[in-house]
Amino acid sequence: MRDAISRTVLLCLSCSAAAAIFAAGKAVCAADWFAAAGSADAKGTRESPWDLASALAGRQKISPGDTLWIRGGTYRHPDRGQGSCGYVVHLAGREGQPIHVRAEPGQRVTIDGGLTVEAPATWIEIRDLEILVSENLFKSRIFPDPGSSPKSYDRPWGGLNVHSGQGCRYVNLVIHDNAQGISFWSGATDSQVSGCILYDNGWKAPDRGHGHAIYTQNKDGVKTIEDCIMTGGYSYTLHAYGSPRAYVDNYLVRNNVCYNAGRFLIGGGRPSHNIRVIGNWLYNVTMQIGYAAPYNEDCEVSGNVIVGGNLEIIRYRNAVNRDNRVIGRSGPRPAGPAQVVVQPCRLDPDRGNVVIFNWDKKAGVAVDPAALLRPGDRFRLMNPREFYGQPVLAGTYAGRPLVVPVEGEFAAYVLLKGDPG
C-alpha cells in the first residue's frame, strides 16, 4: 500500500513538473519583435526592424504571446485626408497569450494620424503610445458647418478607434488633439481602457462642440474604463451614448479623473443595465447617469467626488446612490486642509494618479505618496498635459510628504516610480 501511495505521489509530482516545464516553455517561446522606419521585407529584429504598418496589420509573423516593440520616433500615417483613422491593427492573440504592442522603454512613440483596431484583432494589449493629429496643433479647430461629420474637416480623424476584439487592453496611452480621443464600439467585448491621458480632443462648430475624450457603446461583456485622466476638449469627457437602437450596457467606470471639461454621461435612448460608476473624481464636470430612455434597469453610483458640477441619476428602477460627495459650482467649500488622493493604477505598479482638492488654495500642498512609493524609490511627478516634458517634481522619496505646487482649487498629476528608460 505504501509503495502504491509513493508511486502515486511521484506520478503527481512528475505531472506537475511537466506542466511547469510546458508553461515555462510557452513563456520562453514568446518572441520580441521590432518596428520602426523599416521595411516589410526586414527581419523584425532590433537591427532590422519591420515597418509599422505591416507589423500592425498582421502581415508579419507575430504570434500569440509575442511583443512588438516600437522604436522611438514619430510615425506619420500617409493618408491625411478627411476621416482617415490611421494605422490598422489586425493582430490576433489568444486568451492567456495576448499580443503586446508597446513603445520601447524610455522612448517617446508618437502615432500621427490614429490607430484603428479591426477584426480579426483580438486579445491584444497596446500601451505607452502617444496618438495625435499634427494638423490640429497648428490649424484652426473651428469649422463653419454643423454636425458630427463636417465636410470642411480637412484632416485625419485620428484617435484610437476600437471596432473589434475580446479581452483587449489599452494602457497608458496619451491621446490628444484628435477629432475624438477613443471610439470604443460594441464589437469590442470584455475589454478595457486603463491609465490613459486624454485632452484637447474635438472641434467647435456653429451648433455646439463635437468630439469626445471617450465615445463608447456596449452590449455583451463588460467594458472597463479606469484610472484615466480626461480634460479640455470641445465636448463630453466620457460619452457612453446611443440612439434607441444602440446598447449602453455593462460598464465598470472607476477611479477616473475628469476636470475642466464637458459632461460625463452614461445613457442613451435604449434602457441601460449593469452600470457601475465607482470612485471617480470630477472637477467642473457634471456626472449624468441615464439620458432619454423611458426607464433604465440597474446602476451603482458610489464613492464619487464631484466639485463644481452636479450628479444626475435619471429613471433607474434600481439605483444604488451611496457615499457620493457633490459640491455644486457655487456651493460652499469645506474648511480645513486639502483633500489629497494617491491612486495607484491597477495595470501598472509603477504609476498612479494624484488628485488634489485644494480648499484653502495654498501654493503648496503636502502629498503622501506611500500608496505607490517606498523610501529610496526614485520618482517623477508629471503634469498630464505635459506628460513628455519636464517633471513638476523629481527625486528620491525619503519617506516624507512631498510639497506639490498647486494653482487654484484643483490639480491632477501622474506619479511615476523610477527614472525614465
Looking up residue 379, the CATH number of its domain turns out to be 2.60.40
Last residue in a domain, options 304, 327, 350: 327
Please check whether residue 275 is in contact with residue 300, taking contact to mean a CB–CB distance below 8 angstroms.
Answer: yes
My answer on whether 225 and 161 are in the same domain is yes
Q: What is the pLDDT of residue 253?
A: 98
pLDDT in tens, 102-154: 999 999 999 999 999 999 999 999 999 999 999 999 999 999 999 988 999 99
My answer on whether 320 and 356 are in the same domain is no
From residue 382, give the alpha-carbon distance in Å to each of 10, 102, 257, 386: 55, 20, 15, 7
Last residue in a domain, options 327, 349, 368: 327
Range 334-356 average pLDDT: 96
**Average pLDDT for the chain:** 93
My answer on whether 362 and 322 are in the same domain is no
Please check whether residue 39 is in contact with residue 53, taking contact to mean a CB–CB distance below 8 angstroms.
Answer: no
Asked if the model's pLDDT at residue 3 lies above 80, the reply is: no
My answer on whether 303 and 356 are in the same domain is no
Give a yes or no: residue 364 inside a domain.
yes
pLDDT band at 11 (very low <50, low <70, confident <90, very high): very low
Asked if the model's pLDDT at residue 10 lies above 80, the reply is: no
DSSP state letter for 151: T
pLDDT band at 26 (very low <50, low <70, confident <90, very high): very low
pLDDT band at 251 (very low <50, low <70, confident <90, very high): very high
Q: How many residues comprise the chain? A: 421
Residue type, 46: R
Q: What is the pLDDT of residue 29?
A: 78
Contacts of 127 (CB under 8 A, 6+ apart): 100, 101, 102, 103, 169, 170, 171, 172, 173
pLDDT band at 19 (very low <50, low <70, confident <90, very high): very low
Find how far residue 180's CA is from the centre of its chain.
13
Count of domains in the chain? 2
My answer on whether 310 and 371 are in the same domain is no
Domain extent, residue 243, equals 29-327
Give a yes or no: residue 21 inside a domain.
no
Residue 106, all three cell numbers: 524610455
